[in-house]
């Protein structure tokens, strides 16, 4: 019999390098960053960690009360879809003859998204506590945290944290001396963007190709190994302990109506200080940009993809006027997504940027359903032709048309995700595309 | 019931239906590629997108369950736009090589493209090319044509029971393939040809031989196993070009086993006998029908006149039609000869005269799916009844518990709840244990006849047999079934066993206690029919085995190759050698008929009309799909004229229908069947349970592609991996005990005969057994399929310079 | 034959799943064997499939679907460099060109001495540290500059 302890060396709980300036941030999910050894159990407990779990399991708080608290908090799914977490929890069948599962989606791989990684490596125990509370609430016996395969060192940190938590009685059997049992395991992806889609992720946990399932049935009724399963994003679970420590209303009050709490924004691209910034929902983009040190090299902002490539690109004026919350960005005709701000300065060639993005979706399409499998390749090839100077003016309408034919006709949302950049780039930067087609070279780079 | 509306048509549909089900039932056409009613829903092709009120995106009809009040539009602007866009996507990487594609004319993609495609393409980029795979001798691949619908993958996994194909890679690079260089070995593999909606998977034997519109399609019945599958024979220029399944939900559904699909290649074999032949001074001479029949009749008459009618033996293939069996029997009767039999691979006839009726499978084929508990005794299901195995697979997938008692541990590709793998001889004891355990469980031991209770008294129930008994009784791990539907079936290995009587009696008793359905799973297309017509010895006649043990002076063989089709190859061969006259009605010239004196060319099933009765008692007639080859004649006609030539009365039939009417005595076949099928015994047969048997026992399985003369001549089937030379297969502990290792050459002996075989390690064989395949020229020197056998290692010196090393068959 | 060390690690992964779901461990098993042997040959995949009692083709489906599994030899050090948008915006092209010149290989090629293989990766979820690469699927190197790349390569020699 192999024990869980043997596989991971605890020494891998190394001291991380804190990369962003904490000034101006409101730390909820990354609260341990103020300390020297943020990932350790000791640090987390010192900051009040595991107190919510302890209270709930010893007081035997009613599941419905917890769900109500989460609903009050206004927490919405932080993986990108923004579905209210409390509502999602209420979909899990209460009574089920068998094991129910809890899954954490830490498979962030949408370009520009790297927030969950910091939770895993800097504050793993808050995620563990959040999952344990969710498991208690939903009656899940087993949980899996599915971690992006590329961040292997962080996977090891998390697995070590699991052993630490189990040894301290926060996981496993008879948690904190009660009759609550919950086994939590780390599992990993190995290079497939699509596994960020929750049903593809479930397939992957089962040891299969990450091909999304057709829904319904939803994971709440047919998830891991065909059993009821709740899937949330890392940041969502990590918000739970804070909500139960301070109350749902306090969390809601951190943000703005319909967007409760704080949000981790991953800022990448042309800024001076790329990194994660945890700020209150509703923070103006301009403030966030300031935290990230502004546009690099003293250049001007050209455009931002606010929530990862599956959200529409926004020209500078639009984003500078927007606030960072679900409604703020939706009003500005884009979407918060996972809060992955890809910042592009004035030197960026939008044709080439789209070229790279279309290659990504072409490369990452799982190949299961026709519009995405065939359409992403078609789109990429046309843009590739344009970039190689062989574009035709009618290609722009063709691209729009093909993208519209992919969107909304696929099994999962990758269809929309692949269509969005094409449609939004052409919509906002059409003259750049036309210039490229006419001159066979980039407008920006020619200047 | 739910009320919905499709294209303005109001419909009442069952709860749980999908849109496509509802539309199909209402006759509203929705295009589709990946959806298949017999497979899991993949929803990947997206061709069936339809518009549903209140949904802003089109939904796949195949995967969307209907809800009350749903309004669905299959031809609205949004639906058609979606469908057309999917069609466009499907075609951008499709080679459009229809003129050279075998699927042309029967291609879903082609047909749907006509309705939903455009005349030109907006796609001007390079098209994808996918390398072809060699997946075996039956299915040909053109993978560039593949549209990734995964029907083939799902079929092999879900229906075939083994995932032999997969879609590797991802995105546009995803392609269907078998594992690295493996082939697809499912005995149901041909069905993926039918399932493929494009020309990616086509029939290798049929490839490039005809266009679908040149073919005439004629219905028939599959002639190789007892299922009675419905087939459609495709004919061009009086030649069978291919065989496809004809949908029959209650029998073969929409499937066909590879044996039934590809055996037709045997019909076109160069071995076909086209003219009558007589042996003259040891040489075969072609002759005309009249001469041949007069010669045959003269010989039979002379011999029976001189030595009495009992000097004749009539052996009829259980794959022959009812008409042929009836006439063979009637001819023997006319001569006053009681020696007629179709049970060529049986050795235990102790139940003769003790039965209340014709033994059969004891339930409908379809009912198997509904069973809760199944016990299979002495059957290698996939080998014996490839398509029936699939019904059992469905039952198990539905939650049935399967128990197996067998000398072979072959994987049936379904979950086995309990199994006992023992020597054939010990199977009786195991069954006794199950019976004892069951009677104990139900506290019904008093209901067993005292003789049986006495027999069981010394038997010790072991845990594994106890588990089988509990399963049969409906006991479960988490909950018990109060009145489980139980099925008990005996397969070929039990039917061929010298202790069949014991096995049958035990099974009947277990069935009685558990209220089970079930019976025997006879091997051939017409075994049940032959029994019902009484193509068996009369009370003074000899059964098939006796006719060979005590050789007859003359034999009339109907559609058999004696050494390959009989239980005891060596006896059969010796008997034919010794006989003064052997008259063989045969479709093929054969080494196995070298001792015959007259060969009368008969028509195989495609060239004659006739009737088979399946294992479930279904009487199914068919007509000829081609004219007889050369001077071949339907066997019923040959028997009729032979009888006429013999001067027998009452053989005036003009048509096979008249023969059939006579066989059923003018009654409706179903009435006769209803009256006849009965698995019960009139009386308990005296049996012994615990017989100690020390030596090795042979398991003489008939490989599925060696089962009858047609199959043996189908080149593509012979090229499959199932066609392996007979070897002496034993498990490792047996090899160790005998001091043998894999690859050694051994001499195996049964009775006076022997064969030199290579030793093969086979962990699926019970200890104490040697698995040596039958129905093969290498083993025609051997005896009983299931009987004593010895194995002796050949020293290398002995082999030197000697030509007894068996050559590997390519 | 899987090594005892690999089996021990796979057995540990198996403890995460119900006993009748051995296939679930295939992602880890492939990783473990790849780490040990450098890449996944068809023999390796067969051994894993047999150990997990799953169809070989299903194991192959998985191995070919996730792009961190290598189905052909990749040399001693596989360098995977992200070229996706956030990295591209921070001049990953410069790093790619430098690596290509320095190692004299293109993407998916192995240096003649069998030491290095260069792969183009998709987003690794660390875009804040762009441009970045990882070595042998485990060691992440962020904020790359030409000088930093040289130092890393030097260390790998």
C8 touches chain A (CB under 8 A): yes
For A:405-434, CB contacts with B below 8 A are 405, 408-411
DSSP output for B246-258: --BTTTTBT---H
Question: Subunits with at least 3 CB pairs below 8 A relative to chain A?
Answer: B, C
Label residue B448 by pLDDT band (50, 70, 90).
low
Give the residue ranges of DSSP H helices in B134-184. Answer: 151-154
Contacts of A373 in chain B (CB under 8 A): 89, 148, 171-172, 174
- Residue A446 is predicted with a pLDDT of 79
Q: What is residue B244's three-state secondary structure?
A: strand
Count how many pairs of residues, chain B against chain C, have C-beta atoms within 8 Å: 36
Q: What is the pLDDT of residues B313-334, one digit of tens each?
A: 999 999 999 999 999 999 999 9
Residue of C nearest to B177 (CA): C57
Strand-pair partners of C17? none
Q: What is the pLDDT of residues B344-401, one digit of tens each?
A: 999 999 999 999 999 999 999 999 999 999 999 999 999 999 999 999 999 999 999 9
Chain A nearest CA to C90, separation (Å): 6
User: What values do phi and psi take at A45, rounded to 5?
Assistant: -65, -40
Chain A nearest CA to C54, separation (Å): 10
Q: What is the pLDDT of residues A251-295, one digit of tens each?
A: 999 999 999 999 999 999 999 999 999 999 999 999 999 999 999
* Summary count for chain C: helices (H), strands (E): 7, 5
- Please choose, from the candidates B385, A254, A272, the residue with its C-alpha nearest in 3D space to the C-alpha of residue A264: A254
- Residue C157 is predicted with a pLDDT of 79
Interface contact C68-A149, CB threshold 8 A: yes
Burial class (CB in 10 A: 0-12, 13-18, 19+), C43: exposed
Residue of B nearest to C71 (CA): B169
Rounded distance, CA C6 to CA C12, Å? 10
A373 touches chain B (CB under 8 A): yes
A66 touches chain B (CB under 8 A): no
> Which tokens in the block code for residue C13?
């992964």
Asked if A34 contacts A139 with a C-beta cutoff of 8 angstroms, the reply is no
From residue B509, give the alpha-carbon distance in Å to each of A424, B379, B431, B488, B502.
Answer: 76, 19, 10, 11, 11
Rounded distance, CA B295 to CA B646, Å? 10
C136 touches chain A (CB under 8 A): no
User: What values do phi and psi take at B140, rounded to 5?
Assistant: -100, 145
Asked if B757 contacts B763 with a C-beta cutoff of 8 angstroms, the reply is no
Asked if B514 contacts B472 with a C-beta cutoff of 8 angstroms, the reply is yes
A203 touches chain C (CB under 8 A): no
Rounded distance, CA C15 to CA C31, Å? 16
Range B727-751 average pLDDT: 95
- Residue B555 is predicted with a pLDDT of 98
Asked if B132 contacts B142 with a C-beta cutoff of 8 angstroms, the reply is yes
Label residue B453 by pLDDT band (50, 70, 90).
confident
Residue of C nearest to A118 (CA): C126
Q: In B581-622, at which residue ranges do the beta strands (DSSP E only) sit?
A: 581-586, 598-601, 610-613, 619-622
3-state DSSP percent of chain A in helix, strand and coil, to 5: 50, 15, 40
- Residue B96 is predicted with a pLDDT of 85
Q: What is the pLDDT of residues B707-726, one digit of tens each?
A: 999 999 999 999 998 877 89
- Residue B800 is predicted with a pLDDT of 56
Rounded distance, CA B259 to CA B720, Å? 11
Answer with the residue of higher pLDDT: B440 or B82: B82
- Residue A198 is predicted with a pLDDT of 96
Label residue B479 by pLDDT band (50, 70, 90).
confident
ipTM above 0.95, yes or no: yes
Chain B nearest CA to A193, separation (Å): 11
Interface contact B60-A214, CB threshold 8 A: yes
Q: What is residue B433's three-state secondary structure?
A: helix
B187 pLDDT higher than 60: yes
A428 pLDDT higher than 80: yes
Peptide bond into C82 cis (omega under 30): no
Interface contact B180-C58, CB threshold 8 A: no
- Residue A299 is predicted with a pLDDT of 97
Contacts of C15 in chain A (CB under 8 A): 2, 4
Strand-pair partners of A259? A256
Average pLDDT taken over every residue of chain B: 94
Peptide bond into C131 cis (omega under 30): yes
Residue of B nearest to A412 (CA): B44
> Which tokens in the block code for residue C124?
């690794």
- Low pLDDT (below 50) residues in chain C: none
Interface contact C126-A357, CB threshold 8 A: no
Chain A nearest CA to B91, separation (Å): 9
Average pLDDT taken over every residue of chain A: 94
Q: Please give the model's pTM, rounded to 2 decimal places.
A: 0.95
Label residue A20 by pLDDT band (50, 70, 90).
low
Chain C nearest CA to B154, separation (Å): 12
Q: What is the pLDDT of residues B598-639, one digit of tens each?
A: 999 999 999 999 999 999 999 999 999 999 999 999 999 999
Q: What is the pLDDT of residues B272-307, one digit of tens each?
A: 999 999 999 999 999 999 999 999 999 999 999 999
Q: What is the pLDDT of residues B634-668, one digit of tens each?
A: 999 999 999 999 999 999 999 999 999 999 999 99
Interface contact A378-B125, CB threshold 8 A: yes
- Please choose, from the candidates B25, B24, B43, B23, the residue with its C-alpha nearest in 3D space to the C-alpha of residue B33: B43
A190 touches chain B (CB under 8 A): no
Label residue A3 by pLDDT band (50, 70, 90).
very low
- Please choose, from the candidates B695, B686, B586, B707, the residue with its C-alpha nearest in 3D space to the C-alpha of residue B635: B586
- To probe the interface with B, which of C41, C48, C61, C66 has the most B CB atoms within 10 Å? C61
A159 touches chain C (CB under 8 A): no
Chain B nearest CA to C47, separation (Å): 13
C128 touches chain A (CB under 8 A): yes
DSSP state of C143: S
SS3 of C61-100:
HHHHHCCCCCCCCCCCEEEEEECCHHHHHCCHHHHHHHHH
Chain A nearest CA to B57, separation (Å): 6
Look up tokens 């990108």; give the residue.
Answer: A80
For C:29-68, CB contacts with A below 8 A are 30-31, 52, 54, 58, 61-62, 65-68
- Residue B799 is predicted with a pLDDT of 59
Asked if B133 contacts B175 with a C-beta cutoff of 8 angstroms, the reply is no
- Residue B693 is predicted with a pLDDT of 78
Peptide bond into B752 cis (omega under 30): no
- Residue B443 is predicted with a pLDDT of 52
C108 touches chain B (CB under 8 A): no
A398 touches chain B (CB under 8 A): yes
- Residue B450 is predicted with a pLDDT of 72
| Candidate ranges A16-20, A352-356, B590-594; pick with highest mean pLDDT | A352-356
Interface contact B89-A371, CB threshold 8 A: yes
A147 pLDDT higher than 50: yes
Contacts of A71 (CB under 8 A, 6+ apart): A84, A86, A87, A90, A248
- To probe the interface with C, which of B150, B162, B179 has the most C CB atoms within 10 Å? B179
- Residue A438 is predicted with a pLDDT of 97
Q: What is residue C139's three-state secondary structure?
A: strand
Rounded distance, CA A370 to CA A409, Å? 9
Question: Subunits with at least 3 CB pairs below 8 A relative to chain B?
Answer: A, C
Strand-pair partners of B355? B681
Percent of chain B, pLDDT > 90? 89
C43 touches chain B (CB under 8 A): no
Count how many pairs of residues, chain A against chain B, have C-beta atoms within 8 Å: 92
Sheet with A229-233, strands from edge to edge, namely A183-188, A142-147, A101-106, A229-233
Stated as kind and residue range, the H or E segment containing B96 is none
Chain A nearest CA to C111, separation (Å): 23
Label residue A210 by pLDDT band (50, 70, 90).
very high
Range B481-495 average pLDDT: 95
Strand-pair partners of B403? B375, B418
Range A64-88 average pLDDT: 96
C149 touches chain A (CB under 8 A): no
Label residue A53 by pLDDT band (50, 70, 90).
very high
Q: What is the pLDDT of residues B412-444, one digit of tens each?
A: 999 999 999 999 999 999 999 999 998 876 555
Interface contact A268-C27, CB threshold 8 A: no
Interface contact B57-A409, CB threshold 8 A: yes
A11 pLDDT higher than 80: no
For B:161-200, CB contacts with C below 8 A are 162-170, 177-180, 182
- Please choose, from the candidates A93, A88, A14, the residue with its C-alpha nearest in 3D space to the C-alpha of residue A105: A88
From residue B529, give the alpha-carbon distance in Å to each of B497, B637, B651, B669.
Answer: 22, 19, 21, 11
Residue of A nearest to C23 (CA): A207
Contacts of C65 in chain B (CB under 8 A): 168-170
Rounded distance, CA A228 to CA A388, Å? 50
Residue of A nearest to C18 (CA): A225
For A:5-24, CB contacts with C below 8 A are 6-7, 19
Label residue B803 by pLDDT band (50, 70, 90).
very low
B810 pLDDT higher than 60: no
> Which tokens in the block code for residue B152?
């083939």
B743 touches chain A (CB under 8 A): no
Nearest CB neighbour to A411, from listed B43, B92, B122: B43
Asked if B581 contacts B303 with a C-beta cutoff of 8 angstroms, the reply is yes
DSSP state of B457: T
Chain B nearest CA to C55, separation (Å): 6
Contacts of A384 (CB under 8 A, 6+ apart): A355, A359
Range B669-678 average pLDDT: 96
Contacts of A210 in chain C (CB under 8 A): 65-66
Contacts of A109 (CB under 8 A, 6+ apart): A148, A150, A189, A192, A193, A195, A196, C122, C123, C124, C125
Rounded distance, CA B612 to CA B339, Å? 22
A8 pLDDT higher than 50: no
Q: What is the pLDDT of residues B47-64, one digit of tens each?
A: 999 999 999 999 999 999
Rounded distance, CA B498 to CA B700, Å? 12
Asked if B486 contacts B515 with a C-beta cutoff of 8 angstroms, the reply is yes
Question: Subunits with at least 3 CB pairs below 8 A relative to chain C?
Answer: A, B
């Amino acid at each position: 019999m192999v024990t869980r302890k043997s596989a991971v060396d605890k020494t891998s709980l190394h001291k991380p390098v804190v990369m962003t300036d904490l000034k101006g941030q409101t730390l909820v999910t990354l609260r341990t960053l103020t300390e020297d050894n943020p990932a350790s159990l000791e640090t987390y407990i010192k900051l009040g960690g595991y107190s919510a779990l302890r209270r709930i399991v010893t007081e035997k708080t009613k599941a419905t009360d917890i769900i109500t608290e989460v609903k009050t908090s206004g927490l919405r799914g932080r993986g990108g879809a923004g579905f209210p977490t409390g509502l999602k929890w209420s979909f899990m069948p209460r009574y089920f003859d068998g094991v129910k599962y809890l899954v954490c989606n830490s498979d962030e791989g949408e370009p520009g998204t790297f927030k969950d990684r910091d939770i895993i490596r800097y504050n793993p125990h808050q995620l563990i506590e959040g999952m344990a509370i969710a498991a208690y609430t939903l009656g899940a016996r087993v949980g899996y945290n599915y971690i992006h395969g590329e961040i292997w060192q962080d996977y090891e940190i998390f697995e070590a944290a699991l052993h630490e938590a189990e040894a301290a009685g926060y996981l496993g059997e008879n948690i904190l001396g009660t009759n609550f049992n919950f086994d939590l395991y780390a599992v990993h992806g190995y290079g497939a963007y699509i596994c960020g889609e929750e049903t593809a992720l479930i397939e992957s946990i089962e040891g299969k190709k990450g091909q999304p399932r057709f829904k319904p049935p939803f994971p709440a009724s047919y998830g891991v190994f065909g059993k009821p399963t709740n899937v949330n994003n890392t940041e969502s679970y990590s918000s739970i302990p804070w909500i139960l420590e301070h109350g749902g209303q306090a969390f809601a009050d951190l943000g703005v109506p319909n967007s409760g709490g704080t949000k981790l924004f991953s800022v990448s691209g042309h800024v001076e200080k790329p990194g994660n910034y945890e700020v209150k929902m509703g923070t103006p983009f301009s403030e966030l940009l300031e935290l990230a040190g502004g546009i690099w090299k003293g250049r001007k902002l050209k455009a931002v993809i606010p929530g990862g490539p599956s959200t529409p690109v926004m020209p500078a004026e639009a984003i500078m006027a927007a606030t960072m919350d679900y409604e703020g960005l939706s009003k500005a005709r884009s979407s918060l997504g996972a809060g992955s701000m890809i910042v592009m300065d004035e030197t960026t060639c939008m044709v080439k940027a789209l070229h790279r993005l279309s290659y990504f979706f072409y490369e990452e399409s799982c190949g299961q359903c026709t519009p995405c499998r065939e359409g992403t390749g078609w789109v990429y090839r046309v843009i590739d032709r344009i970039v190689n100077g062989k574009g035709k003016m009618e290609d722009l309408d063709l691209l729009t048309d093909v993208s519209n034919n992919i969107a909304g006709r696929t099994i999962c949302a990758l269809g929309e995700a692949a269509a969005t950049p094409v449609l939004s780039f052409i919509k906002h930067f059409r003259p750049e595309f036309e210039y490229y087609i006419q001159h066979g070279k980039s407008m920006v780079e020619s200047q | 019931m739910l009320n919905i509306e499709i294209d303005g048509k109001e419909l009442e549909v069952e709860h749980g239906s999908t849109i496509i089900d509802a539309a199909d039932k209402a006759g509203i056409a929705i295009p589709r590629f990946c959806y298949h009613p017999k497979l899991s829903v993949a929803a990947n092709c997206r061709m069936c997108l339809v518009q549903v009120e209140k949904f802003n995106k089109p939904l796949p009809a195949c995967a969307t369950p209907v809800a009350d009040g749903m309004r669905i539009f299959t031809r609205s602007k949004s639906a058609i736009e979606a469908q057309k866009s999917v069609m466009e996507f499907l075609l951008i990487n499709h080679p459009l090589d229809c003129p050279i594609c075998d699927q042309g004319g029967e291609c879903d993609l082609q047909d749907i493209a006509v309705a939903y495609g455009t005349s030109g393409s907006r796609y001007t980029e390079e098209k994808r090319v996918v390398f072809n795979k060699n997946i075996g001798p039956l299915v040909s691949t053109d993978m560039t044509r593949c549209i990734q619908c995964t029907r083939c993958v799902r079929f092999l996994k879900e229906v075939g029971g083994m995932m032999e194909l997969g879609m590797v890679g991802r995105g546009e690079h995803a392609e269907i393939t078998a594992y690295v260089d493996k082939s697809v070995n499912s005995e149901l593999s041909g069905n993926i040809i039918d399932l493929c909606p494009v020309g990616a998977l086509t029939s290798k034997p049929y490839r490039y031989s005809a266009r679908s519109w040149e073919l005439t399609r004629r219905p028939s019945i599959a002639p190789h196993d007892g299922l009675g599958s419905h087939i459609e024979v495709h004919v061009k220029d009086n030649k069978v070009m291919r065989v496809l399944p004809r949908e029959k939900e209650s029998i073969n559904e929409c499937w066909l086993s590879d044996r039934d699909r590809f055996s037709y290649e045997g019909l076109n074999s160069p071995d076909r006998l086209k003219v009558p032949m007589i042996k003259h001074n040891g040489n075969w001479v072609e002759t005309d029908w009249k001469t041949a029949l007069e010669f045959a009749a003269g010989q039979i008459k002379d011999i029976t006149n001189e030595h009495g009618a009992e000097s004749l033996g009539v052996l009829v293939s259980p794959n022959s039609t009812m008409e042929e069996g009836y006439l063979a029997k009637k001819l023997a009767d006319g001569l006053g000869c009681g020696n007629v039999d179709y049970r060529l691979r049986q050795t235990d006839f102790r139940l003769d005269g003790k039965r209340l009726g014709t033994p059969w499978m004891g339930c409908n084929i379809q009912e198997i799916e509904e069973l809760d508990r199944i016990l299979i005794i002495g059957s290698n299901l996939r080998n014996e009844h490839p398509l029936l195995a699939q019904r059992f697979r469905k039952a198990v997938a539905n939650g049935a518990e399967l128990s197996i008692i067998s000398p072979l541990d072959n994987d049936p590709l379904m979950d086995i709840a309990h199994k006992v793998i023992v020597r054939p001889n010990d199977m009786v004891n195991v069954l006794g244990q199950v019976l004892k355990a069951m009677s104990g469980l139900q506290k019904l031991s008093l209901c067993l006849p005292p003789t049986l209770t006495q027999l069981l008294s010394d038997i010790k129930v072991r845990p594994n047999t106890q588990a089988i008994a509990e399963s049969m009784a409906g006991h479960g791990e988490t909950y018990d079934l109060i009145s489980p539907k139980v099925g008990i079936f005996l397969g070929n290995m039990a039917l061929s066993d010298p202790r069949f009587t014991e096995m049958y009696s035990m099974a009947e008793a277990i069935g009685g206690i558990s209220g089970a359905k079930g019976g025997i799973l006879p091997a051939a297309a017409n075994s049940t029919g032959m029994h019902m017509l009484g193509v068996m010895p009369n009370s003074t006649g000899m059964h098939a085995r006796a006719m060979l043990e005590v050789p007859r002076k003359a034999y009339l063989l109907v559609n058999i190759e004696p050494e390959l089709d009989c239980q005891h190859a060596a006896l059969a061969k010796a008997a034919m050698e010794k006989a003064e006259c052997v008259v063989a009605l045969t479709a093929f010239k054969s080494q196995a008929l070298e001792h015959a004196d007259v060969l009368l060319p008969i028509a195989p099933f495609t060239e004659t009309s006739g009737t088979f009765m399946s294992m479930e008692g279904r009487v199914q007639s068919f007509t000829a799909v081609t004219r007889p080859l050369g001077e071949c004649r339907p066997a019923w006609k040959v028997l009729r004229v032979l009888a006429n030539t013999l001067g027998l009365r009452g053989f005036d039939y003009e048509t096979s229908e008249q023969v059939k009417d006579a066989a059923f005595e003018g009654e409706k076949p179903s009435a006769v069947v209803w009256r006849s099928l009965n698995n019960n015994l009139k009386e308990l047969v005296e049996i012994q349970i615990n017989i100690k048997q020390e030596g090795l026992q042979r398991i003489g399985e008939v490989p599925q592609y060696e089962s009858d003369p047609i199959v043996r001549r189908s080149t593509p089937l012979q090229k499959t991996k199932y066609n392996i030379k007979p070897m002496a297969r034993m498990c490792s502990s047996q090899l160790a005990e005998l001091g043998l290792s894999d690859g050694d050459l051994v001499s195996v002996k049964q009775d006076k005969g022997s064969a030199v075989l290579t030793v093969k390690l086979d962990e699926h064989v019970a200890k104490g057994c040697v698995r040596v395949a039958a129905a093969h020229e290498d083993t025609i020197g051997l005896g009983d399929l299931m009987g004593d056998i010895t194995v002796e290692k050949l020293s290398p010196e002995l082999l030197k310079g000697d030509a007894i090393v068996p050559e590997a068959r390519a | 034959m899987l090594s005892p060390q690999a089996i021990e690690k796979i057995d540990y992964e198996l403890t995460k799943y119900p006993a009748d779901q051995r296939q679930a461990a295939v992602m880890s098993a492939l990783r473990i064997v790849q780490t040990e042997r450098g890449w996944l040959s068809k023999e390796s995949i067969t051994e894993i499939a047999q150990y997990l009692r799953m169809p070989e083709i299903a194991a192959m489906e998985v191995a070919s679907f996730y792009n961190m599994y290598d189905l052909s030899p990749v040399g001693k050090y596989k360098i995977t460099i992200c070229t996706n948008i956030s990295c591209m915006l921070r001049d990953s092209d410069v790093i790619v060109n430098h690596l290509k010149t320095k190692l004299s290989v293109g993407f998916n090629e192995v240096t003649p001495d069998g030491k290095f293989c260069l792969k183009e990766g998709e987003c690794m979820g660390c875009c804040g540290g762009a441009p970045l690469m990882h070595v042998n699927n485990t060691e992440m190197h962020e904020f790359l500059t030409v000088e930093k790349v040289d130092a890393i390569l030097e260390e790998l020699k």
